[in-house]
A and B are shown apart, each in its own frame.
Chain A
Amino acid sequence: MQLDPSFIWTAFVQLLGAIPTTLSITVVSVSAGFLIGTVTALLRLYRVPVLSQIASAYVTFIRGTPMLTHLLLIYFGLPMIIDALAAQFGWSFRAVSIPMIGFAYISFSITAGAYMSEVVRAGIQAVDRGQLEAAQSVGMTQIQSLRRIVFPQALAAALPNLANSVIGMLHGSTLAFAVSVVDINAQAQIVASTNWKFFEAYLAAALIFWGLTVLIERAAALIEKRVGAYNRGGVA
């Protein structure tokens, strides 16, 4: 078997069409995961009765099981629940009408939420307690103090780890092939097997992922510079 350099380009062009799928899974899972993660982190930090225990169980279960397993559990479990509920309450909605990518959105959001809750928690805990006290001392409510004083600083502290999560979810989105969603990697497999040129196709996929990752890194660096502008004169 011989390397066919020109096929790398051919494959590359054919893979471009799958980029939106990969990106949409990444964007949805990261955005929803950030919301879930923030709520989970707050429930645990404030030790809200019952809910904080549920939040802890969620985080340890999800982090303790593989992302592919989450996808399969959602794919096979969710339709059972939905159809049972539909039968119970007489809805016309059936689980078969959920598009395949919907399962990827839901399950990866749940995955990302657990990991990001730890990122958000670390960020919030990195903010000095005195900041909250100062906000309270001038008469701001708890919500105002969190939103205007604590969160912006927590976000700045959490940014490098958040960028890591985004990259992790971008690469993890390849698992969606398991429920027949054609992302970049799955498209590479299709291109490869129809042309019998596996190495070239996967190399093209790798280049696209690398390119996307570099973009994310650049964007993160820019945001970090803006958000952390107040921080000059730290250890660095």
Chain B
Amino acid sequence: MIQLSKISKSFGRNPVLRDISLNVGTGEVVVILGASGSGKTTLLRCINYLEKPGSGEIAVGDLRVDCSRARRSDILRLRRKTAMVFQQYNLFRHKTALENVMEALLVVKKLPLAEARRRSVELLEKVGLGAKLDAYPSRLSGGQQQRVGIARALALEPEVILFDEPTSALDPELVGEVLEVIRAIAKEGITMIVVTHEMGFARDVANRVVFMDGGLIVEEGTPDEVFQRPREERTKQFLRRITPEANYSI
């Protein structure tokens, strides 16, 4: 269970998040939509303190963090309850696929090597990379790297996984394999907050869709409500732009 209350954040004098509140229930998959500059990525990054919120409160499970006076230990605990999958994958470049997944198990969870290895192999097999355990990221395709990124996020058994445009940097033919993996773990009941532009994916995986604009949540509802019967003009405009009428005649 994740509760964000009145999260605000400015870059300099430019406000990017204005008093945002959002609740995400256990096992829920929430997709955040919005144009670039709407604050959706910043909101996601505030949840694990990669961006420091100016004010507000973040609650993950039984941990509550008041952002105006968060201590270093609070931030660390928050990060250990969350995991993130990055747009640019951000795999540890000097570590193999297996070492990438094992790293946090060894260093953060302090598991014995054999146990960490066993669990990491399991996770990599689950994302279809059982044959690439010893490959360095530079040897993997974008889709493979992102699947390692997902395995790394799963390793710590976080209460929520944050996906920051996980397929935006991928070649179109590689998007499918990554979405399939995300879809599979969504079905297992893992709580997820996903920032994406993949409308089809949002439609069939999300329990709830949140539309952001100008640092505010403009509209939220089930995928059906938001996609088929949007109430707000800004949502309608955005959806028109992102899903243009099919017209491929030459």
Binding site for B on A (CB under 8 A): 128, 130-131, 133-141, 144, 148-149, 152-153, 156, 229-234
On whether the beta carbons of B94 and A230 are closer than 8 Å, the reply is: yes
Count residues of B near A (Cβ-Cβ below 8 Å). Answer: 29
On whether the beta carbons of B138 and A231 are closer than 8 Å, the reply is: yes
Are A138 and B94 also in contact (CB < 8 A) when A130-B88, A230-B136 are? no
Known: A137-B86, A149-B92, A232-B139. 7 other contacts (CB 8 A): A134-B90, A136-B79, A138-B103, A139-B76, A230-B138, A232-B136, A233-B138
- On chain B, the residues within 8 Å of A134 by CB distance are 84, 86, 90-92, 152
Counting chain B CB atoms within 10 Å of each CB, the highest count among A141, A229, A232 belongs to A141
- On chain B, the residues within 8 Å of A153 by CB distance are 93-94
Binding site for A on B (CB under 8 A): 48-50, 76, 79-80, 82-84, 86, 88, 90-95, 103-104, 107-108, 136-139, 152-153, 155-156
In the bound assembly, the distance between CA atoms of A134 and B136 in angstroms comes to 16
A144 and chain B: residue at smallest CB distance: B107
Counting chain A CB atoms within 10 Å of each CB, the highest count among B50, B88, B103, B107 belongs to B107
B86 CB contact (under 8 Å) in A133, A141, A144, A234? A133
Are A130 and B138 also in contact (CB < 8 A) when A136-B79, A139-B79, A140-B108 are? no
- On chain A, the residues within 8 Å of B90 by CB distance are 128, 130-131, 133-134
On whether the beta carbons of A135 and B92 are closer than 8 Å, the reply is: yes
In the bound assembly, the distance between CA atoms of A236 and B93 in angstroms comes to 17
Counting chain B CB atoms within 10 Å of each CB, the highest count among A130, A153, A231, A234 belongs to A130
- On chain B, the residues within 8 Å of A140 by CB distance are 103-104, 107-108
On whether the beta carbons of A131 and B92 are closer than 8 Å, the reply is: yes
- On chain A, the residues within 8 Å of B104 by CB distance are 138-140
On whether the beta carbons of B156 and A138 are closer than 8 Å, the reply is: yes
In the bound assembly, the distance between CA atoms of A149 and B107 in angstroms comes to 11
In the bound assembly, the distance between CA atoms of A219 and B55 in angstroms comes to 53
In the bound assembly, the distance between CA atoms of A130 and B50 in angstroms comes to 10
B138 CB contact (under 8 Å) in A137, A139, A144, A232? A232
Quote the shortest CB–CB distance from B60 to chain A (angstroms): 12
B108 CB contact (under 8 Å) in A138, A149, A156, A231? A138
In the bound assembly, the distance between CA atoms of A144 and B107 in angstroms comes to 8
Quote the shortest CB–CB distance from A124 to chain B (angstroms): 14
- On chain A, the residues within 8 Å of B82 by CB distance are 137
